[in-house]
Structure 1
Amino acid sequence: MFIARSAPADQVVIRNLSLLSGGAIQQNWAIDAQVIGGPFAGELNVVLRTDAPSAVAASHGRAQEFALLKAALQAGVLVPEPLWLGETEIIGRPFFIMRRIKGSAAGHRLVKDQRLGGDRVHLAEQLGEQLARIHSISPACNDLAFLSRSESSPVHTLIQRAQDFLDKHTTPHPVLEWCLRWLELNAPPSNQQVLCHRDYRTGNYMVDEQGLTGILDWEFAGWSDPLEDIGWFCAKCWRFGNNAAQAGGVGQREDFYRGYERIAQTSIATEHVLYWEVMAHLNWALIAIQQAERHVSGQERSLNLALTGHIVPELEWEILNLTEYR
């Protein structure tokens, strides 16, 4: 058995195996096991993370995500401890196993239930601090050599990637094309490249009643401008309707910024954050289109994926609101 061999242990008894909710890109399985013998002896609560039947093109494989988790842990980021990277032939798909952390990641609950996440000022600061620790990882990290680094600026790379997608897509999206032109004309300086999570938002971190317990879902991480993550986190599309709390629907920008700046020891160029929020809405629209196509193609029948495609007009409307008169 894989866990017994990896632990290593004399015996492993599986008490529970259940599919966890969420995970629109990957599948997560909760495993509760009793480990007999070896350094992990006792109750072991882990998550097996594996590929979904279909995927979004930009998503990393499980071996790459495992390496990203290890690098983040070494940088002091609050993440589930990655334990063992598995072989595809064991379950028919690539996978890895990480420790299971406590709490909830449900964004729609977190923005409404004040019992979750602890003090909201402190939570916003914690989230800023964790993001700054992620951004402390540079392209010099040899363990992340598999991440490609463009010689163009991050802004240019993202615009070109979006343009290539829209050029090849069968359905026209004139608002997204308009957005691309606006992004080209209003691009701020963008030369710094650090490790960006690229999906740092409410819904991708865990909280309990005391506060933050871990940052999840690293399958889109890559080298980019740190403002990409900041704009993504603050974008209206990730506030789950709690628009008064502009930092992820859970706090205020100034608290989130303060936590970030305290760890990063540098000031956020706040005058450029709106630009990156526009970019966030564009990128989320492109992902939503791909999510819907996973359902329509028949590769993975899912009501959740099908409904994701219906948010594209809402994202286009917000793009027009953000760019009006600018």
Structure 2
Amino acid sequence: MDEGELRYWLVQTTGDPGLQITGLKRLSGGAIQQNWSLDVLLRGEPQAWVLRTDAPAVLAVSHSRAQEFALLRAARAAGVTVPKPIYLCNDIAVIGRPFFIMARIEGLATPHRVVREFADRAGRDMLVAALGRELARIHTIHPPHAGLAFLGAPPADPALAAIAALRERLDAAGTPRPVLEWGLRALERNAPPPLPAVLCHNDFRTGNVMLTESGVAAVLDWEFAGWGDPHADLGWFCAKCWRFGNVAQEAGGIGRRAALHAAYEDESGSRIDASRLPWWELLATIRWAVIAADQAARHLSGQERSLELALTGHIVPELEWDILAQVDRMPGRL
């Protein structure tokens, strides 16, 4: 990254000719996007920021940085705990890719550390409840929304649209995945009727929330958000694949599902239909398997050589075992 070009852009954007970059470092994580810790002196005052930009190879279903910036603004306006979005740059001449800058939040997001350090504490259900309230606030955002016009019209049937999107990705990849196709067929046979659409984060899970001793510091990574069934987010958060080994704690590997649901219902004023959740948890497992296979393909194709991406592909067989077990429990299974 060209620090000189970045500083020049920041000077022009902030109007501070004396602005100094005092620190710029790539942060860990971010298999789909890149995050950089950015420290500056702005009018003599230290600022702690994060610069978020594209990885060398991005997923086609991921939003642009301008769109993610708009999602952060909409979420913040709805009372969701997100980092403050500060500046947006679509000029690729600055660092080679579009980017935005947001406030840097301190806390813990690394999922295996989260389930190890928070799940065994007496206050774990309080933390899960706080996450339930955040999710309920996200779901207060409804279409149409002037700031989110790029999301388009909500699908007539979010469940069938999700199946179609995953099948399209499997077909495009060209690698036979019979277990995933089997799971998608079971989903088709058991699809729940549509509900009024809300904004779904679509990656609300342990690892994408910044946590502290006192609660939720920030909800992160909005690049997959879109209109859908609110149960999709609840199913994604509670799916076994996102418990990071702490399977007994169904709410993200942190605490009890009941605590998540109770806080969500209290904050939203609406009831969760528990009968819909197994369907969305199966879809979550299949979706993660498709994403994992896609990420491995980025490495294998040479687009982005990465040990992390290569290893991600090795979780697909385990996910396939989980899919078979979940399908077997469905009343309308093949």
TM-score range, shorter chain: over 0.9
Counterpart of 2:284 in structure 1 is 280
| 1:33-73 deviation digits (Å, cap 9, x = unpaired) | 1112xxxx511000000000001111011000000000000
**Shift of residue 214 of structure 1?**
0.3
CA contact (8 A) 2:173 2:294 kept: no
Choose the corresponding residue for 1:249, options 237, 249, 253.
253
2:98 and 2:171 map into 1 onto residues whose CA distance is: 32
**TM superposition shift of 1:262:** 1.1
Residue among 176, 183, 188 paired with 2:192: 188
SS of 1:155's equivalent?
A: helix
Would the aligned equivalents of 1:33 and 1:43 in 2 still touch at CA under 8 Å?
Answer: yes
Q: Secondary structure at the match of 1:65?
A: helix
Query: How has the CA–CA distance of structure 1 residues 290 and 64 changed in structure 2, closer, same or farther, with 3 Å as cutoff?
Result: same
Once residues 23 and 271 of structure 1 are traced to their aligned partners in structure 2, the CA distance between those partners, rounded to angstroms, is 34
Does structure 2 conserve the Cα–Cα contact (< 8 Å) formed by 1:63 and 1:96? yes
Letter in 1 for 2:234: I
SS of residue matched to 2:52: strand
2:157 aligned with 1:153, yes or no? yes
Q: Which residue of 2 aligns with 1:294?
A: 298
Residue 239 (structure 1) aligned with residue 243 (structure 2): yes
Structure 1, unaligned runs of 5 or more: none
CA-CA distance at 1:117 after TM superposition: 8.9
Unaligned runs of 5+ in 2: 1-7
The CA deviation string for residues 195-233 of structure 1, in whole angstroms up to 9 with x for no partner, is 100000000010122221000000000011111100000
Structure 1 residue corresponding to 2:209, chosen from 198, 205, 210: 205
* Residue of structure 1 equivalent to 2:5: none
| Residue-by-residue CA offset, 1:145-197 (whole Å, 9 max, x unaligned) | 00023543001101111122223332111101110110011111123211100
Shift in alpha-carbon separation, 1:5–1:115, aligned structure 2, 3 A: farther
1:170 aligned partner: 174
* 1:118, distance to aligned residue in structure 2 (A): 8.5
Amino acid at match of 1:2: W
Q: Distance in 1 between matches of 2:329 and 2:85?
A: 47
Match of 1:6?
Answer: 13
Contact 1:116-1:209 at 8 Å conserved across structures = no
Identity of aligned residues (%): 52
Per the alignment, residue 56 of structure 1 pairs with: 59
| Contact kept in structure 2, 1:14 and 1:31, CA below 8 Å | yes
User: Secondary structure of 1:50's match?
Assistant: strand
Match of 1:47 in 2: 50
> Residue deviations 1:100-158, cap 9 Å, x none?
00111100001011399982111101100000110110112110000023543001101
Structure 1 residues 132, 46: CA separation in 2 closer, same or farther (over 3 Å shift)? same
- Structure 2 counterpart of 1:98: 102
Partner residue, 2:130: 126
**Counterpart in 2 of 1:220?**
224
Q: Which runs of 4+ in 1 moved over 4 A?
A: 115-118
Q: CA separation in 2, counterparts of 1:14 and 1:117?
A: 39
Say if 1:178 and 1:289 are closer, same or farther in 2 by CA, change over 3 A.
Answer: same
Q: Which residue is equivalent to 2:4? A: none
Q: Do the aligned partners of residues 118 and 325 (structure 1) sit closer, same or farther apart at CA in structure 2, a change above 3 Å counting? A: closer
Q: Which amino acid aligns with 2:88?
A: L
- Is this contact kept in 2: 1:117–1:208, CA < 8 A? no
Check 1:34–1:235 CA distance in 2 against 1; reply closer, same or farther (3 A cut): same
SS of residue in 2 equivalent to 1:146: helix
RMSD: 1.5
Amino acid at match of 2:81: L
Change (3 A) 1:288 1:250: same
SS in 2 for 1:46: strand
Q: Residues 85 and 189 of structure 1: is their aligned pair in 2 closer, same or farther, counting only changes over 3 Å?
A: same
Answer yes or no: is the 8 Å Cα contact 1:117–1:211 preserved in 2. no
Query: Which of 56, 81, 84 is 1:78 aligned to?
Result: 81
